Amino acid sequence: MSNDISNYNNWLDAWNDFYEKEKELVELDPNAALVSSVDAESNPNARVILIKDVSNNGFVFYTNYQSQKGKELFHNNKGHLTWYSRAQKVSIRVQGEVQKIDDSISDNYFASRDRSAQISASISKQSETVESREVLDAEFKKFANENEGKVIKRPQNWGGIIIIPRRVEIWSSQLDYKTRLHDRIVFTLSNDQWTKSRLYP
Ligand SMILES: Cc1cc2nc3c(=O)[nH]c(=O)nc-3n(C[C@H](O)[C@H](O)[C@H](O)COP(=O)(O)O)c2cc1C
Protein backbone atom coordinates (compact mmCIF):
# COMPACT_ATOMS: atom_id res chain seq x y z
CA MET A 1 0.00 0.00 0.00
CA SER A 2 1.31 3.45 -0.87
CA ASN A 3 1.50 6.23 1.69
CA ASP A 4 -1.78 7.61 0.38
CA ILE A 5 -4.26 6.40 2.99
CA SER A 6 -7.21 7.28 0.76
CA ASN A 7 -6.36 4.11 -1.20
CA TYR A 8 -7.70 1.98 1.65
CA ASN A 9 -11.17 0.63 1.04
CA ASN A 10 -11.76 -0.48 4.62
CA TRP A 11 -10.39 0.30 8.06
CA LEU A 12 -9.24 -3.25 8.79
CA ASP A 13 -6.75 -3.28 5.90
CA ALA A 14 -5.38 0.03 7.12
CA TRP A 15 -5.08 -1.25 10.70
CA ASN A 16 -3.38 -4.48 9.57
CA ASP A 17 -0.83 -2.64 7.44
CA PHE A 18 0.06 -0.06 10.05
CA TYR A 19 0.10 -2.50 12.96
CA GLU A 20 2.28 -5.07 11.15
CA LYS A 21 4.76 -2.31 10.36
CA GLU A 22 4.58 -0.95 13.91
CA LYS A 23 5.65 -4.33 15.31
CA GLU A 24 8.81 -4.09 13.18
CA LEU A 25 9.49 -0.49 14.20
CA VAL A 26 8.60 -0.43 17.89
CA GLU A 27 9.88 -2.93 20.41
CA LEU A 28 7.71 -2.06 23.40
CA ASP A 29 3.92 -2.14 23.35
CA PRO A 30 3.18 -1.44 19.68
CA ASN A 31 -0.39 -2.43 20.63
CA ALA A 32 -0.81 0.26 23.30
CA ALA A 33 -3.86 2.46 22.80
CA LEU A 34 -6.08 4.81 24.75
CA VAL A 35 -9.60 3.74 25.61
CA SER A 36 -11.98 6.56 26.44
CA SER A 37 -15.32 6.54 28.17
CA VAL A 38 -17.61 8.91 30.01
CA ASP A 39 -18.95 8.48 33.51
CA ALA A 40 -22.55 8.88 34.61
CA GLU A 41 -22.06 12.66 34.96
CA SER A 42 -20.53 12.84 31.45
CA ASN A 43 -17.00 13.37 32.78
CA PRO A 44 -14.53 11.99 30.24
CA ASN A 45 -11.84 9.46 31.15
CA ALA A 46 -9.11 7.79 29.17
CA ARG A 47 -6.48 5.19 29.97
CA VAL A 48 -3.90 3.08 28.20
CA ILE A 49 -4.67 -0.56 27.40
CA LEU A 50 -3.08 -3.20 25.19
CA ILE A 51 -5.03 -4.25 22.11
CA LYS A 52 -5.03 -8.04 21.98
CA ASP A 53 -7.07 -8.85 18.90
CA VAL A 54 -8.41 -6.98 15.90
CA SER A 55 -10.77 -8.42 13.32
CA ASN A 56 -13.68 -7.25 11.21
CA ASN A 57 -15.71 -7.46 14.44
CA GLY A 58 -13.62 -4.89 16.26
CA PHE A 59 -10.84 -4.20 18.76
CA VAL A 60 -10.44 -6.45 21.81
CA PHE A 61 -8.63 -5.70 25.06
CA TYR A 62 -8.77 -7.32 28.50
CA THR A 63 -9.59 -5.75 31.81
CA ASN A 64 -11.50 -5.94 35.05
CA TYR A 65 -15.20 -5.45 34.29
CA GLN A 66 -15.67 -3.78 37.71
CA SER A 67 -12.94 -1.21 37.08
CA GLN A 68 -13.79 2.40 36.43
CA LYS A 69 -13.49 1.82 32.70
CA GLY A 70 -15.63 -1.30 32.92
CA LYS A 71 -18.40 0.55 34.73
CA GLU A 72 -18.22 3.55 32.43
CA LEU A 73 -18.07 1.60 29.17
CA PHE A 74 -21.09 -0.48 30.10
CA HIS A 75 -23.24 2.27 31.54
CA ASN A 76 -23.90 3.49 27.99
CA ASN A 77 -22.28 0.66 25.99
CA LYS A 78 -20.18 3.20 24.11
CA GLY A 79 -16.43 3.45 23.89
CA HIS A 80 -13.60 5.01 21.98
CA LEU A 81 -10.11 3.81 21.20
CA THR A 82 -7.16 5.88 19.98
CA TRP A 83 -3.99 4.29 18.63
CA TYR A 84 -1.03 6.42 17.65
CA SER A 85 2.18 5.57 15.86
CA ARG A 86 4.83 8.19 16.21
CA ALA A 87 7.15 6.06 14.08
CA GLN A 88 4.68 6.01 11.17
CA LYS A 89 3.02 9.38 11.78
CA VAL A 90 -0.38 7.77 11.84
CA SER A 91 -3.29 7.70 14.26
CA ILE A 92 -6.37 5.51 14.20
CA ARG A 93 -9.50 6.54 16.11
CA VAL A 94 -12.33 4.11 16.69
CA GLN A 95 -15.76 4.97 18.00
CA GLY A 96 -18.28 2.27 18.64
CA GLU A 97 -20.36 0.01 20.79
CA VAL A 98 -18.84 -2.10 23.53
CA GLN A 99 -19.61 -5.69 24.43
CA LYS A 100 -18.09 -8.35 26.63
CA ILE A 101 -16.52 -11.06 24.49
CA ASP A 102 -17.44 -14.74 24.88
CA ASP A 103 -16.40 -16.23 28.21
CA SER A 104 -14.65 -19.10 26.41
CA ILE A 105 -12.34 -16.68 24.57
CA SER A 106 -11.54 -14.85 27.80
CA ASP A 107 -10.90 -18.23 29.49
CA ASN A 108 -8.42 -19.23 26.79
CA TYR A 109 -6.62 -15.91 26.90
CA PHE A 110 -6.47 -15.95 30.72
CA ALA A 111 -5.06 -19.48 30.66
CA SER A 112 -2.31 -18.35 28.26
CA ARG A 113 -1.13 -15.59 30.60
CA ASP A 114 1.83 -15.72 32.89
CA ARG A 115 0.92 -17.14 36.31
CA SER A 116 1.90 -13.92 38.06
CA ALA A 117 -0.46 -11.95 35.81
CA GLN A 118 -3.21 -14.47 36.60
CA ILE A 119 -2.63 -13.91 40.31
CA SER A 120 -2.63 -10.12 39.90
CA ALA A 121 -5.91 -10.22 37.99
CA SER A 122 -7.38 -12.49 40.66
CA ILE A 123 -6.54 -10.27 43.61
CA SER A 124 -6.97 -6.85 42.00
CA LYS A 125 -10.07 -4.85 42.78
CA GLN A 126 -8.99 -2.65 39.89
CA SER A 127 -9.49 1.09 40.41
CA GLU A 128 -10.50 0.75 44.09
CA THR A 129 -8.35 2.27 46.84
CA VAL A 130 -5.68 0.03 48.34
CA GLU A 131 -4.05 1.01 51.63
CA SER A 132 -0.42 0.52 50.58
CA ARG A 133 1.99 -1.35 48.31
CA GLU A 134 2.66 -3.69 51.27
CA VAL A 135 -1.01 -4.65 51.44
CA LEU A 136 -1.01 -5.35 47.70
CA ASP A 137 2.13 -7.50 47.92
CA ALA A 138 0.75 -9.39 50.91
CA GLU A 139 -2.50 -10.16 49.08
CA PHE A 140 -0.52 -11.39 46.07
CA LYS A 141 1.65 -13.63 48.25
CA LYS A 142 -1.33 -15.01 50.17
CA PHE A 143 -3.20 -15.90 46.97
CA ALA A 144 -0.05 -17.44 45.45
CA ASN A 145 0.54 -19.59 48.53
CA GLU A 146 -3.07 -20.71 48.84
CA ASN A 147 -3.17 -21.70 45.17
CA GLU A 148 0.25 -23.28 44.80
CA GLY A 149 0.12 -26.15 42.31
CA LYS A 150 -3.48 -25.36 41.36
CA VAL A 151 -4.83 -24.08 38.06
CA ILE A 152 -5.92 -20.47 38.51
CA LYS A 153 -9.33 -19.92 37.01
CA ARG A 154 -10.29 -16.68 35.30
CA PRO A 155 -12.09 -14.39 37.75
CA GLN A 156 -15.65 -13.75 36.56
CA ASN A 157 -15.08 -9.99 36.73
CA TRP A 158 -12.09 -10.13 34.38
CA GLY A 159 -12.24 -10.63 30.62
CA GLY A 160 -12.26 -9.18 27.17
CA ILE A 161 -14.11 -6.17 25.88
CA ILE A 162 -14.65 -5.55 22.20
CA ILE A 163 -15.16 -2.11 20.71
CA ILE A 164 -17.32 -2.68 17.65
CA PRO A 165 -16.55 0.19 15.30
CA ARG A 166 -19.18 2.50 13.86
CA ARG A 167 -16.68 5.16 12.87
CA VAL A 168 -12.97 4.73 12.21
CA GLU A 169 -10.71 7.58 11.30
CA ILE A 170 -7.20 7.20 9.91
CA TRP A 171 -5.01 10.29 10.27
CA SER A 172 -1.68 10.47 8.52
CA SER A 173 1.02 13.07 8.20
CA GLN A 174 3.23 10.80 6.11
CA LEU A 175 2.97 12.82 2.92
CA ASP A 176 3.82 16.27 4.18
CA TYR A 177 4.22 17.16 7.84
CA LYS A 178 5.40 20.76 7.37
CA THR A 179 2.26 22.18 5.76
CA ARG A 180 0.04 20.49 8.36
CA LEU A 181 -2.10 19.52 5.39
CA HIS A 182 -2.51 16.08 6.87
CA ASP A 183 -4.70 13.34 5.48
CA ARG A 184 -7.81 12.22 7.33
CA ILE A 185 -9.91 9.42 5.96
CA VAL A 186 -13.00 8.36 7.85
CA PHE A 187 -15.01 5.15 7.50
CA THR A 188 -18.57 5.46 8.80
CA LEU A 189 -21.14 2.72 9.25
CA SER A 190 -24.70 3.60 8.39
CA ASN A 191 -27.54 1.17 7.59
CA ASP A 192 -25.01 -1.69 7.56
CA GLN A 193 -22.96 0.08 4.88
CA TRP A 194 -19.49 1.52 5.33
CA THR A 195 -18.80 4.78 3.56
CA LYS A 196 -15.45 6.49 3.17
CA SER A 197 -14.83 10.23 3.19
CA ARG A 198 -11.96 12.64 3.47
CA LEU A 199 -11.90 15.31 6.16
CA TYR A 200 -10.14 18.65 6.27
CA PRO A 201 -7.06 18.33 8.46
C1 LIG B 1 1.35 0.36 28.63
C2 LIG B 1 0.12 0.10 29.48
C3 LIG B 1 -0.68 -0.97 29.20
C4 LIG B 1 -1.83 -1.23 29.95
N5 LIG B 1 -2.64 -2.26 29.60
C6 LIG B 1 -3.79 -2.46 30.28
C7 LIG B 1 -4.73 -3.45 29.83
O8 LIG B 1 -4.55 -4.11 28.80
N9 LIG B 1 -5.86 -3.62 30.57
C10 LIG B 1 -6.12 -2.88 31.69
O11 LIG B 1 -7.15 -3.08 32.32
N12 LIG B 1 -5.26 -1.92 32.12
C13 LIG B 1 -4.11 -1.69 31.43
N14 LIG B 1 -3.25 -0.71 31.83
C15 LIG B 1 -3.59 0.08 33.05
C16 LIG B 1 -4.63 1.16 32.66
O17 LIG B 1 -4.01 2.21 31.94
C18 LIG B 1 -5.36 1.71 33.88
O19 LIG B 1 -4.46 2.26 34.79
C20 LIG B 1 -6.20 0.66 34.61
O21 LIG B 1 -6.80 -0.24 33.71
C22 LIG B 1 -7.29 1.31 35.46
O23 LIG B 1 -8.09 2.12 34.62
P24 LIG B 1 -9.58 2.59 35.05
O25 LIG B 1 -9.51 3.02 36.49
O26 LIG B 1 -9.92 3.71 34.13
O27 LIG B 1 -10.48 1.41 34.86
C28 LIG B 1 -2.13 -0.41 31.07
C29 LIG B 1 -1.31 0.70 31.33
C30 LIG B 1 -0.22 0.95 30.55
C31 LIG B 1 0.61 2.19 30.84
pLDDT of residue 110: 98
CA of 95 to the centre of ligand 1 (A): 19
What does the alpha-carbon distance between residue 59 and residue 92 come to, in Å, rounded to a whole number? 12
Ligand 1 atom closest to the CA of 126, numbered from 1: 22
Q: Whose CA is nearest to atom 7 of ligand 1?
A: 49
Q: Which residues line ligand 1 (CB under 6 A)?
A: 29, 32, 45, 47-50, 61-63, 67-69, 126-127
Give domain limits for the chain.
5-103+159-198
- Residues in CB range of 181: below 8 A, 6 or more apart: 201
- Residues in CB range of 127: below 8 A, 6 or more apart: 64, 66, 67, 68, 69
What does the alpha-carbon distance between residue 183 and residue 175 come to, in Å, rounded to a whole number? 8
CA of 69 to the centre of ligand 1 (A): 9
Nearest CA-CA partner of 95 in 110, 83, 78, 80? 80
CA of 49 to the centre of ligand 1 (A): 5
Nearest CA-CA partner of 38 in 66, 74, 81, 72? 72
pLDDT of residue 1: 47
- Residues in CB range of 86: below 8 A, 6 or more apart: none
CA of 35 to the centre of ligand 1 (A): 9
pLDDT of residue 175: 73
* Percent of the chain topping pLDDT 70: 98
Contact 158, 110 (CB under 8 A): yes
The overall average pLDDT reported for the chain is: 96
pLDDT digits 0-9 by tens, 133-184: 999 999 999 999 999 999 999 999 999 999 999 999 999 998 777 788 899 9
**What's the predicted TM-score (pTM) here?**
0.96
CATH 3.40.50.2300 fits 5-103+159-198, yes or no: no
CA of 47 to the centre of ligand 1 (A): 6
